[in-house]
Structure 1
Amino acid sequence: MYLKSIRLFFRTLKREFNKWRGKAPRVKLQIKRPYVHLGSDYGGWSILKDTLNAQSVVFSFGIGTDISFDLALINEYGVTVNAFDPTPNVSAWLKQQQLPVQFHYFPYALSHKDEVLRFYTPDRLDYISHTIIDKGTDKYVEVQAKCLTTILKEHGHTQIDLLKMDIEGAEYKVIEDILQSKIKIKQLLVEFHHQMYGITTEQSEKAILALNQAGYQLFDISETGYEYSFVKI
């Protein structure tokens, strides 16, 4: 318990320092609920404790080659994880893994509308994350993307218990679409990409405010100030 308190202190200190430097949105935790952190240091997320079961509807957008969070959800709660990522090489990498039957993979992207997107390649060869943000180069692949309403219809669901998205800059328009469509989502985990791809901290603050106004309250922010966990009140 002591070590956990020390870790939490330094985590909060780092987060506040990033906000002071203007590197993270100037927002605070808005609700206190017990939560757990699942997955690796790189790919892990915080979710509310004891809120999922085998019947929960879970969607995970942007998985890359770190699926530790998705596997932890399956191991802890027996849920089926619907995982999405059109990034080149992800499909081939998954075929080399020993995956549980509850892990369902779909090779397309989440967007604010059904469309074919240009997915721009990372600048570094050892990076896997692609982005829809136009880098002014011809280094891209075209991928199929769908809005959340379409995806829910295809999967036969009307609401979501847990939605995670790490979609490299596409989250801002997707959040607008989610709020306009009034899709019911109990927990929403978002990685914002301020200070990347030309995205400003103010854009993330605006998106968080819009979620707040729709009833989503923050219960955890990562120490880096990029990963945000919301619960719908």
Structure 2
Amino acid sequence: MGRVLRKLHAHDLPTRLARSERLYRSMLVQRQKLIAKFKPSTGDIALFPPQDVPPWPPYTAWDFFPPSYNCPHEVDRLGTLGSGGQWVCGASRLTTKPDCTIYSFGSTSETSFEAAILQNTHSCQVFAYDANGASFGTQIAELAPGRAHFSPFALAKKDAHGTGAVPKRYTLESLMALNGHEYIDVLRLDLEGAEFEVLTALVKPYVGNTRKALPFGQLLIQIHLWETAFPQVLAFFETLEAAGLRPFWCEYNLLYQRQNKGTSDLAEYSFLNTRGSNVFIQNE
């Protein structure tokens, strides 16, 4: 009887999550082997080594950070194909969630992701911020009056929103307090390179503390490797991992690569928060 029960529950949510964690930790071992293969010091590793440097082919920076954690639900692209859409794990779990909350930063020029959230859920509230814009497009307002909220603020590692602050800057904690929120289901970030300092500061209090979960269920982020070095990128990913975030999807920005003479230093990553009791990792 015990064997039968174990077989019946072999694919339940906790089992799938545990299996994904084991696979991910195996990848972390492979990462260290890849680092050791090319250079004894991480400071000597180039993000994108020249093509004529042996052995060939060598690697790109992205090879060290594969999205090898398996989402335990469906993976769906919300928004347009090409630039703008986002890959989400278990979006169906938000369809009827009564207190569904989405935060999106850097979203005035392309809002197909936010529009898809509003179209495919019954009560999700979308809070969007972009210091370079004035409002949502009319499409968003017409889709869900009362469920779409926009403010021309910037996300920062420290608050700066007093008199004369242009643009006004808020930490995520401050914005959540301003809105009366304790939890965000999906957090989307496009910070044009500022993600390294902003997100590192945000997750630092949660690093290594398995009893304290980040206040969001998923992180969808565009990572820009502009003016960075491998140690900074490695530390960034290791900080996110130490806070319980696991990448389950990645999409390299090939449009940017084509327009910029072959550079490949932009990628969209989707992370699942594997700590706490968010809607994506708990049984319904």
Same-fold status (TM-score > 0.5): yes
CA shift at 1:96, angstroms?
Answer: 4.9
Q: Which residue of 2 aligns with 1:72?
A: 116
| Higher RCO (CA 8 Å, separation ≥ 6 residues) | 1
CA shift at 1:22, angstroms?
Answer: 2.5
Q: Equivalent of 2:68, from 30, 34, 41?
A: 30
State the Cα RMSD in Å. Answer: 2.4
Q: Larger Rg: 1 or 2?
A: 2
1:193–1:156 distance in 2 versus 1, CA, 3 Å:
same
Give the residue type in structure 2 aligned to 1:186. Answer: G
Q: Which residue of 2 aligns with 1:178?
A: 202
Asked whether the 8 Å contact 1:218–1:231 carries over to 2, the reply is: yes
Q: Which residue of 2 aligns with 1:43?
A: 84
Q: Which residue of 1 aligns with 2:103?
A: 59
Q: Equivalent of 1:228, from 269, 275, 280?
A: 269
Rounded to whole Å, the distance in 1 between the matches of 2:127 and 2:86 is: 16
Unaligned runs of 5+ in 2: 1-47, 50-57, 207-213, 254-265, 275-284
1:70–1:54 distance in 2 versus 1, CA, 3 Å:
farther
SS in 2 for 1:226: strand
- Per the normalisation by structure 1, the TM-score is 0.72
1:209–1:143 distance in 2 versus 1, CA, 3 Å:
same
Unaligned runs of 5+ in 1: 1-17, 117-140
SS in 1 for 2:134: helix
Asked whether the 8 Å contact 1:82–1:103 carries over to 2, the reply is: yes
Q: Is residue 206 of structure 1 aligned with residue 240 of structure 2?
A: no
The count of aligned residue pairs is: 188
1:32–1:157 distance in 2 versus 1, CA, 3 Å:
same
Rounded to whole Å, the distance in 2 between the matches of 1:176 and 1:155 is: 23
1:226–1:200 distance in 2 versus 1, CA, 3 Å:
farther
CA shift at 1:201, angstroms?
Answer: 4.9
Asked whether the 8 Å contact 2:204–2:239 carries over to 1, the reply is: no
Q: Equivalent of 1:164, from 161, 172, 188?
A: 188
CA deviations over 1:85-120 (Å, ceiling 9, x no partner): 010xx216x36555222111011010011026xxxx
- Per the normalisation by structure 2, the TM-score is 0.60
Using the aligned pairs only, state the percent identity: 25
SS in 1 for 2:252: coil
Q: Is residue 146 of structure 1 aligned with residue 186 of structure 2?
A: no
Q: Which residue of 1 aligns with 2:218?
A: 187
Give the residue type in structure 1 aligned to 2:77. Answer: H
Asked whether the 8 Å contact 1:149–1:181 carries over to 2, the reply is: no
Q: Which residue of 2 aligns with 1:138?
A: none
Q: Which residue of 2 aligns with 1:91?
A: 134
Show structure 1 runs of 4+ deviating over 3 A: 18-21, 94-98
